[in-house]
Amino acid sequence: MLELTVKVPAIKAGEYRIEIGTGILESVWPKLDSQFGGWGKFVITDANVAEAGHLDKLLSGRDIPTYVITPAGESSKNMGTVVSILEAMEQAYLGRDTVVVALGGGTVGDIAGFAAAVFKRGVMVVQIPTTTLAQGDSAIGGKMGVDSSLSKNAFGAFWHPSAVYIDVATLNTLDERQYRAGLAESVKHALIADEQYFEFLGKNLDAILERQPAVMEQIAYFNCKVKSGVVEADPLEKNQRRMLNYGHTVGHAVETASGFELLHGEAVAVGMIAAGLIEIETGLGDIKRLERIRKVLTGLGMPVGIPGSVDRTTLVDTIRRDKKAINKWPKFVLIDRIGSVHRKEGQWAIEVGQEVVEKILGKL
């Protein structure tokens, strides 16, 4: 069992624990009962997670009100789903003394966290991530949100969990594409904060693809350590936390413009290659470094180019709608070496001209 403590003054307790292990799912509920006493519980999951048997393992026959998001996936990540969940919680006579338990991938975690943030003006949420993407990134940090019809994560809130439980055994039920795609966030964490972690990923590609538990526990630990360090320094994304958006500005746009043909992690992989090309254009990087990154991403089975179906004009327009855009154009997070984000005048995201971005998109 691996453990970390994340210190977040923004929440009442001031901190929360992350527990990482293999086959720990069935032991989680007694811990929730111990930590939250007689508080009401409400589980949010999706059809895929329920079908995989994770819900049954978590509850072990307990009669707990549960909302199963159907269909599973990004198409349900909208305000309509949130409203349905909130009404289901009301119908269960739940009040301010409620703990929302999010069991699933990044989409489930985002929806559940957002619902917890707005139900009765805010109730606690516990994250139990079951995918590489959620275990490596989205379950930690408290950024919750849903999509609009025009852009990703357009509506949301900062709502930190009260606990996180990571059982890497749940990864065994993922299909190969979902499993590999989620590893993009692991590569991102290494690129922005830890060169040794990047080398660890490169040296353990076979073990990662074989889903060896000890290696996956280490990856979850590395990811949580990197992200929790950033979150502790900047819990509400005032500046430094923007470094976690590396590869995401172009990545989110590619994901949306593809009509979600690409999974989030796949799109972020493309976004990291785009960032590498921008770094070359702006003198912050070189082709040798980019090829090292490309080798790891392709070794993990991720795409490194924009699908031919994505129109470049639509893609640029989508980038202009980025939620962090100012005057209809966002700033970009770039690295000056593996493990180090480039900063300019104390800022962790810098201005990159639209013409530069359009040029590199033509190379993808």
Q: Give the DSSP letter string of 147-161.
A: --SSSTT-EEEE---
Q: Mark whether 243 and 314 lie in a shared domain.
A: yes
Residue that is last in its domain, among 174, 197, 218? 174
* 352 belongs to a structural domain: yes
Work out how many domains the chain is built from and give that number.
2
Task: Domain of residue 39: give its range.
Answer: 2-174
CA distance 274 to 310: 15
- At a CB cut-off of 8 Å and minimum separation 6, what does 236 contact? 10, 158
Domain-embedded: residue 18: yes
Q: Is residue 344 part of a domain?
A: yes
Give the span between the Cα atoms of 22 and 12, in whole angstroms: 30
Whether 78 is in a domain gets the answer yes
Asked whether residue 164 falls in the same domain as residue 30, the answer is yes
Same domain, 35 and 166: yes
**What are the pLDDT tens digits along the chain (364 aa)?**
899 999 877 666 788 999 999 999 999 999 999 999 889 999 999 999 999 999 999 999 999 999 999 999 889 999 999 999 999 999 999 999 999 999 999 999 999 999 999 999 999 999 999 999 899 888 888 889 999 988 878 899 999 999 999 999 999 999 999 999 999 999 999 999 999 999 999 999 999 999 999 999 999 999 999 999 988 888 777 888 899 999 999 999 999 999 888 998 999 999 999 999 999 999 999 999 999 999 999 999 999 999 988 988 899 999 998 878 888 899 999 999 999 999 998 899 999 999 999 999 999 9
Residue 189 lies in a domain: no
Active site (catalytic) residues: 121, 143, 185, 227, 237, 241, 245, 248, 252, 264
Residue 188 within a domain: no
